[in-house]
């Protein structure tokens, strides 16, 4: 039996943040498929057993059940003593970028990708345009930042990089961005993440197949 269980599904960028962390830490872990698209996380049994918020991912470690990718990865950084802060300034900088990611980057890129590719109904063009504008603004901030330093919060990879990269590694047709063309600093940073031992793309690391909504 694996030491860690990550309840996840391949389409979830938030789950992928934790899967990357586990893999790159060399953890003994297994991915447990969550049937998100058939409503598993919204059922009372899920809320009572795993997460009252009705969300994935969930990390099981012994008697602990941890939710929210930022909390999970902070816990793993402490457990493995990897990808965490080495001083207070780094701790604050990591938190700064994790919060930015949740509010401005993954928090918008995730819904943009979902309604564009995965949702059962075709998106309202006005909503899609609005969300893309927000994504463009967030990506511009990250692109400029990565032009000054190799990783998000330090001179080495931290959980801030796994957070900000949660949705970046999905296929270009899902994101509607080709970062090699549009954001060269982000693309170079992604290559540095790909070079980490244990790294794999989301559809190779978590259960679930690539699919597109049938509309």
* pTM across the whole model: 0.96
pLDDT at 214: 78
Rounded Cα–Cα distance for residues 211 and 174 (Å): 10
User: Helix (H, G, I), strand (E, B), or coil: what is residue 209?
Assistant: coil
- Read off the pLDDT of residues 132-186 as tens digits, 9 standing for 90 and up: 999 999 999 999 999 999 999 999 999 999 999 999 999 999 999 999 999 999 9
Residues of the chain scoring pLDDT < 50: none
164 in Cβ contact with 142 (< 8 Å): yes
In 10 A of CB 176, how many CB atoms?
14
For each of the domains in the chain, give its residue range(s) and CATH number, in order of start.
Answer: 4-82+199-205 (3.40.30.10), 88-194 (1.20.1050.10)
Using CA atoms, how far residue 49 sits from 33, 40, 52, 53, 58, in Å, is 15, 12, 8, 11, 11
Coil, helix or strand at residue 175: helix
Q: What pLDDT sits at residue 211? A: 79
């Amino acid at each position: 039996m694996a030491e860690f269980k990550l309840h996840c599904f391949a389409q979830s960028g938030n789950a992928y943040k934790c899967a990357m962390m586990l893999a790159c830490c060399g953890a003994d872990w297994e991915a447990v498929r969550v049937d998100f698209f058939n409503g598993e996380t919204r059922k009372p049994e899920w809320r009572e057993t795993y997460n009252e918020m009705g969300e994935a991912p969930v990390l099981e470690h012994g008697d602990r059940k941890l939710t929210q990718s930022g909390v999970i990865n902070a816990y793993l950084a402490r457990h493995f003593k990897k990808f965490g802060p080495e001083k207070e300034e780094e701790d604050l900088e990591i938190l700064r970028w994790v919060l930015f990611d949740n509010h401005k980057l993954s928090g918008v890129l995730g819904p943009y990708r979902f309604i564009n590719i995965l949702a059962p109904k075709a998106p309202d063009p006005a909503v899609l345009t609005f969300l893309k504008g927000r994504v463009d603004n967030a990506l511009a901030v990250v692109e400029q930042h990565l032009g000054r330093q190799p990783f998000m919060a330090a001179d080495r990879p931290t959980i801030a990089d796994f957070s900000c990269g949660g949705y970046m590694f999905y296929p270009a047709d899902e994101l509607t961005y080709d970062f090699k063309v549009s954001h060269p600093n982000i693309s170079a940073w992604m290559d540095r993440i790909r070079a980490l031992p244990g790294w794999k793309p989301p559809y190779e690391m978590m259960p679930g197949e690539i699919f597109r909504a049938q509309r």
